[in-house]
Amino acid sequence: MHSPQPNLDTRTSDDWPSQLYRILKAADVRQMSYVPDAGHSQLIRLFSADSDVTTNVLTTEEEGVAIAAGAWLGGQRSVLLMQSSGVGNCINMLSLSAIGRFPLLMLVTMRGEWAEFNPWQVPMSRATQPSLEAIGLKVMRAETPEDLVETVESAASLAYDSDQQIAVLIGQRLIGKKKW
């Protein structure tokens, strides 16, 4: 049924990237780095258009782990965006965040777990959470837009206020099926 004034739930569902952007801005994130994923495309556009945030496109995801540590040394907060296949690239560099107790917030869109067309995404998808936990990160997961917004808000506070290393996994069911 059509409604001229969409309710709040509908707005959140449709526009969770804008909600995440608002939360990360409120947390005073000043640097954002990424290897693109379709699920992050709107958040990447929002940050790239923001002259108060320095944005780095990466050749491989572990670069963003190092940039986040450098940003913190210099007094700035950084967020790192990637898809689950990129988590495998990060593992040794995450030693830096773990042993230095550097605040780290990674937002990871999941592939290979829900209506996936590409079987090559499946092995790293399966390894994503165990490998992050093995190197010492706290892993949080969200399966709905409402839960995601609340989870990222909590994760940002844990990372930047409590010097924790957090990966938020964004369920593929939430992102939706990739069109082939």
Partner 1 sequence: MPMQAQLDRRAAVAALLKDRKDMLVVSGLGSPTYDLHSVGDHDGNFYLWGAMGGAALIGLGLAQAQPGKRVLALTGDGEQLMGLGGLATIGVARPRNLDIVVIDNQHFGETGMQASHTGRGVDLTAIAAACGFAAVGTARTLEAVQRLAAQIAEPSDGPRLFVVKVLAENPPRSLPSRDAVFIKNRFRAHLGFAAA
Angle between helices 41-48 and 16-26 (to 10 degrees): 40
Kindly state the tokens that stand for 90. 């990060």
Tokens 């309710």 -> residue: 7
Binding mask 78-107 for partner 1 (x = CB under 8 A): x-------------xx-xx--xxxx-----
Instruction: Kindly tell me which residue out of 63, 109, 111, 112 binds partner 1, with binding defined by CB under 8 A.
Output: 63
Rounded to whole angstroms, how far apart are CA atoms 122 and 77?
32
Q: What sign results for the dihedral spanned by CA atoms 49, 22, 98, 34?
A: negative
Binding of residue 38 to partner 1 (CB under 8 A): no
* DSSP code at position 62: H
Instruction: Kindly tell me which residue out of 50, 163, 171, 178 binds partner 1, with binding defined by CB under 8 A.
Output: 163
Stretch that binds partner 1, among 68-76, 124-132, 147-155, 170-178 (CB under 8 A): 68-76
Rounded to whole angstroms, how far apart are CA atoms 101 and 117?
38
Q: How many residues bind partner 1 (CB under 8 A)?
A: 34
Instruction: Kindly tell me which residue out of 70, 123, 130, 176 binds partner 1, with binding defined by CB under 8 A.
Output: 70
List residues binding partner 1 (CB under 8 A). 30-31, 54, 56-60, 62-63, 65-76, 78, 92-93, 95-96, 99-102, 161-163
